[in-house]
Amino acid sequence: MHGLKFAFANEQAFRQEIYLLTVAVPIGILIAPSFAWYVAMIGVLLLVLAIELLNTGLEKLCDHVMVDRHPQIGIVKDCGSAGVMFSLMLAGVVWLAALFVRFVG
C-alpha cells in the first residue's frame, strides 16, 4: 500500500492511469462484447499500472544509486519508460479490438 500511496502522490503518469481506469471500468461494461473481453480490457489496464509501478521503483532505485546524471542510468530509465509505452500500446490494441468486435464485427 505504501508504494501505491507514494506513486499516486508523486507520479503524474500513475495518477492519469488511475483516472483512466476509473473511467474505463464503467465504460468497459458498455463496450465489451462479452465478459471475457471485459476482463481482458480491464486486465490490460491493471497491467499498465503494474508496469508503471515497476518503472517508478526502478527510477527511484537509479536515483538512489547514482545521484549525478550518468549515461548508463539514463539507458536503464529509458528502458523502463519504453516498457510502459509498450504496455500502453497493448492496452490500446485490446480496447480497439473490443470496439471493433462490438460495433463492426
Give per-residue pLDDT as tens, 4-28.
999 999 999 999 999 999 999 999 9
- Residue 45 is part of which domain span? 2-103
pLDDT at 47 over 90: yes
**Annotated catalytic sites, by residue?**
52
Instruction: Calculate the average pLDDT of the chain.
Output: 96
Q: Which residues have C-beta within 8 Å of that of residue 32, sequence separation ≥ 6?
A: 38, 41, 98, 102
Rounded to two decimals, what is the model's pTM? 0.92
The CATH number given to whatever domain includes residue 50 is 1.10.287.3610
Q: How many domains does the chain have?
A: 1
| pLDDT above 90 coverage of the chain, percent | 93
